């Protein structure tokens, strides 16, 4: 976990091998930018296109949703839903534009398009070298942490 920033680990409960954000690049009032370097030794590459490693699209979606969850956890730290955990409740309109392979540095941006109490509607996009690889829309609901 040496490659993962402490503030990422503090923001969401995910841990390797199911943590797909390495670093927060920027966090503003309505959006966050994060990054992830895709590593060749990640376990999904053993069975996902062996000999031609390709990052699974569903895991790219998960990385964007985790970025959104990090944003939400930072936003709720000071408001009424403090102590909750963002949980994915909707994923739609995922569009994959190009393949992502080991060694690629993926930059992700998740932006709030609407907030209704404890529900955050967001749109996200991921790029590699400035080229769009994924766009999607999603929603997360802040739920109480289980004791």
Task: Give me the helices (H) in 32-90, please.
Answer: 57-76
* Beta carbons of 50 and 107 less than 8 angstroms apart: no
Active site residue 14: no
Q: Is the peptide bond before 17 cis (omega within 30 degrees of 0)?
A: yes
Helix (H, G, I), strand (E, B) or coil at 140: strand
Helix (H, G, I), strand (E, B) or coil at 57: helix
* Beta carbons of 31 and 105 less than 8 angstroms apart: no
Given 48, 74, 101, 125, the catalytic residue: 48
Q: Which H or E run includes 42?
A: none
- For the purposes of burial, counting CB atoms within 10 Å of the CB of 6, is it exposed (0-12), middle (13-18) or buried (19 or more)? exposed
Q: Report, as residue numbers or ranges, the catalytic residues.
A: 48
């Amino acid at each position: 976990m040496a490659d993962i920033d402490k503030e990422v680990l503090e923001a969401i409960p995910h841990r390797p091998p199911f943590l797909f954000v390495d670093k927060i690049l920027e966090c503003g009032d309505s959006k966050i930018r994060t990054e992830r370097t895709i590593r060749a030794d990640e376990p999904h590459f053993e069975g996902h296109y062996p000999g031609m490693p390709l990052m699974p699209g569903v895991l790219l979606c998960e990385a964007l949703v985790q970025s959104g969850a990090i944003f939400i956890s930072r936003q709720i730290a000071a408001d009424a839903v403090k102590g909750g955990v963002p949980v994915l409740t909707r994923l739609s309109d995922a569009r994959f534009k190009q393949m992502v392979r080991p060694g690629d540095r993926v930059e992700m941006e998740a932006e709030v398009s609407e907030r209704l109490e404890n529900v955050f509607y967001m749109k996200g996009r991921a790029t590699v070298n400035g080229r769009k690889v994924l766009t999607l829309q999603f929603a997360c609901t802040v739920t109480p942490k289980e004791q």
